[in-house]
Amino acid sequence: MTDTAEFPPDDDNGHESGPTGWLTPEDLASVRAQLPLVYVDAVPVRVDDSGDVVAVGLLLRASPLGNMTRALVTGRVLYHERVRDALLRHIEKDLGPVALPRVPASPQPFTVAEYFPTPGITPFHDPRQHAISLAYVVPVTGDCRPQQNALDLAWLTPEEACSDTVQAEMVNGQGALVRQAMAHVGRLD
Amino acid sequence: MTDTAEFPPDDDNGHESGPTGWLTPEDLASVRAQLPLVYVDAVPVRVDDSGDVVAVGLLLRASPLGNMTRALVTGRVLYHERVRDALLRHIEKDLGPVALPRVPASPQPFTVAEYFPTPGITPFHDPRQHAISLAYVVPVTGDCRPQQNALDLAWLTPEEACSDTVQAEMVNGQGALVRQAMAHVGRLD
Amino acid sequence: MTDTAEFPPDDDNGHESGPTGWLTPEDLASVRAQLPLVYVDAVPVRVDDSGDVVAVGLLLRASPLGNMTRALVTGRVLYHERVRDALLRHIEKDLGPVALPRVPASPQPFTVAEYFPTPGITPFHDPRQHAISLAYVVPVTGDCRPQQNALDLAWLTPEEACSDTVQAEMVNGQGALVRQAMAHVGRLD
Amino acid sequence: MTDTAEFPPDDDNGHESGPTGWLTPEDLASVRAQLPLVYVDAVPVRVDDSGDVVAVGLLLRASPLGNMTRALVTGRVLYHERVRDALLRHIEKDLGPVALPRVPASPQPFTVAEYFPTPGITPFHDPRQHAISLAYVVPVTGDCRPQQNALDLAWLTPEEACSDTVQAEMVNGQGALVRQAMAHVGRLD
């Protein structure tokens, strides 16, 4: 989970408090030590006319230590928010307002990524919290412009995205999630 | 399976023989008594901006006995044809060339419908043959015009499509397949 | 969601406080108004030697108003608990220690049931909270004995479980979830 | 597809002719050039008490050229045979009569592997034919004894089965299928 953009704010209003499911940073910190949080992970892809995946979109970010890392679109599901609306909100947050995502018709995720604060229980790790993330492959057809703290969005072939080089640039298990996504769409050789 | 349009011909050239996977009617009749055939079933849907299914498209056809029946898009997978290309071909065959289907990125069908020549083994039945059909929900975004032997294409809400009235107008288990599709997209109440 | 047994306590020790993810009732009440909670729903089934579902297990419970209702196995995922361990814990809680459940190998649920405190947004409703529930079909092979506040466990055929009579005895959308589960296993006619 | 054991015979009686869907070798050769055939691929696994995959079973075979190759359980679906019965039959054929397989309750495969006679269209290749294979992960709990032309059955960890060394010992894309299976069960790092 690399949504460092989320804390502070991931909403349009620039704050995390308010009447509809927003927590103060203090409350959220407290809850994070006591409950698993619900997340979504979106793997943005380009598809050809037959629906076959031809490219995977990965965000390029600078880590707090100054390293470059690649990341998926990810973020929390809010109180009283549908999973598909959370997907749309986070894709717009990260890829801009004209990415034109096609959220799948089925709520069935291709996998559930369990990010534990303790490494090694699953391939996924999040030092801040226990997050249970519903993961979807989401074709986007519009113009994608990285927002907020992302430096760039790179479109890679499935083979490139699964290569050791790119995998080494992903953290907290998101590399494994990209490979699981490519397996799901039949593009993991 | 109501693809009566397929025999005789379902291809653009108007015949089923030739070098690339077409069989003569005699050969096909012989094979049908000996092997399961591979089919695809497509459930055409309209989705809203969040990907939620708002309507299901059903073809209206006249049966050989003159009854009106409703049907899905269905047909055979040909030799050396990808499953996703078979989906595109049959959707174009039944809904016309500008239906603009979005074939899913994943080859994983929502179910496998096993149509047996003997009724009662599964919910699916095909008196002509043993067909194993990969079933997909396919959003279509363009203008759909029923082709060939279909009289009309009706867009129904998920609730209408699953109602007893509409179910009674479907044959060979395709009503069950519509309900399974709506269950898959979270629209079966 | 009818896990009235969970509040107060759903653990073996009879309390919800402690060092590993348990909340006080007050804290939980507060969190419930601010965050979606992660749940699991298990549809217990009997399968034959070929894996085909032959029966569905539904718990019989008395509602606070004295009505009889039928329910699935359901409950919260705790902090630092794997989804599959939550499934095992809740199945043992409701069906007893020798039910011998076979939790699926894949973390992919057959659907995600979104229980909103507001009715009508999805087929699922929970007046107490916003719960996002990962739903799995779980074959059980052992001896099932209803525990705690369940009066009985009844094994119904898929057809019976999907019938209008039984559906009317289920609340908060769990009837729809049973039908979606039967659709997933090819047993919704 | 490495079911070289299938031609000649893959049935218990040692012949491919007869009244229920068996073809003569000549007929089958003819059909193979004209139609896609329906296959199943089973990835045999050992699971722990929580359903988590701990080992993958791969058959060791000698190729016609004398090389050692590793293979999955695979084979054709016969006329009037259910997919789940084909899975059971091929598992018994390859792993013996007391493997005690647990065929999944849902007919939804984790993927559809399209084996083309032409390499490069998909990751899967079968020089003999166009086979469309429904792929399932099947936990087996009994004693597995390789049958017929398999020399051994080796249980590997998911990591070992996905390693470059083992992948190099698999042919026709079955290595990719093992990796896709491990992705599906959350065990592809």
Q: State the pairing for strand pair C37-47/C131-139.
A: parallel
What is the mean predicted confidence (pLDDT) over C97-107?
Answer: 97
d(CA B102, CA A49): 8
Q: What is the pLDDT at residue C10?
A: 38
What is the mean predicted confidence (pLDDT) over B32-47?
Answer: 95
Where does the pLDDT of residue D4 fall: very low under 50, low under 70, confident under 90, or very high at 90 and above? very low
φ/ψ of A105, rounded to 5, equals: -70, -30
Q: Residue A120 in contact with residue B86, Cβ under 8 Å? A: no
Closest by CA to D113, choosing from D175, D189, D45, is: D175
First CA to last CA across chain B, in angstroms? 26
d(CA B74, CA D62): 41
Where does the pLDDT of residue C141 fall: very low under 50, low under 70, confident under 90, or very high at 90 and above? very high
Closest by CA to C154, choosing from C166, C165, C168, C142, is: C166
In a mutational test of the B interface, the residue from A106, A111, A178 whose CB has the highest number of chain B CBs within 10 Å is: A106
φ/ψ of A74, rounded to 5, equals: -150, 155
Query: Given C122, C188, C189, which is nearest B183 (Cβ)?
Result: C188
Q: State the pairing for strand pair A131-139/A37-47.
A: parallel
Do B108 and D110 make contact, defined as CB atoms within 8 angstroms? Answer: yes
Asked if residue D22 has pLDDT above 80, the reply is no
Helices and strands: H and E segment counts in chain B: 5, 7
* Residue B151, min C-alpha distance to chain D (Å): 30
φ/ψ of C20, rounded to 5, equals: -120, 60
d(CA B82, CA A51): 12
What is the mean predicted confidence (pLDDT) over C82-90?
Answer: 98
What is the mean predicted confidence (pLDDT) over D126-139?
Answer: 97
Q: Residue A70 in contact with residue A5, Cβ under 8 Å? A: no
d(CA B153, CA B95): 8
Where does the pLDDT of residue B31 fall: very low under 50, low under 70, confident under 90, or very high at 90 and above? confident
Q: Residue D151 in contact with residue D62, Cβ under 8 Å? A: yes
What is the mean predicted confidence (pLDDT) over A157-175?
Answer: 97
Do B189 and C111 make contact, defined as CB atoms within 8 angstroms? Answer: no
Q: In the CATH scheme, what architecture does the domain A25-184 have?
A: Alpha-Beta Complex (3.90)
Higher pLDDT, B184 or A13: B184
Higher pLDDT, A5 or A124: A124
Closest by CA to B56, choosing from B66, B68, B75, B42, is: B42
Q: Which two tokens stand for residue A97?
A: 């307002």
Do B36 and D112 make contact, defined as CB atoms within 8 angstroms? Answer: no
- B103-135 pLDDT tens trace: 999 999 999 999 999 999 999 999 999 999 999
Q: What is the pLDDT at residue D147?
A: 83
Mean pLDDT lowest for which of A11-25, B62-76, C106-120, D94-108?
Answer: A11-25
Mean pLDDT lowest for which of A30-44, B22-36, C99-113?
Answer: B22-36
Higher pLDDT, C25 or A143: A143
In B, minimum Cα distance to D16 occurs at B34
Q: What is the ipTM of this complex?
A: 0.88
Do A104 and B104 make contact, defined as CB atoms within 8 angstroms? Answer: yes
In D, minimum Cα distance to B82 occurs at D114
Give chain D positions within 8 Å (CB) of A188.
123, 176, 179-180, 183
Q: State the pairing for strand pair D131-139/D37-47.
A: parallel
Asked if residue B12 has pLDDT above 80, the reply is no
Asked if residue D8 has pLDDT above 80, the reply is no
What is the mean predicted confidence (pLDDT) over D99-121?
Answer: 97
Q: Which two tokens stand for residue A27?
A: 């409350």
Domain extent listing, chain D: 25-184
Record the pTM.
Answer: 0.91
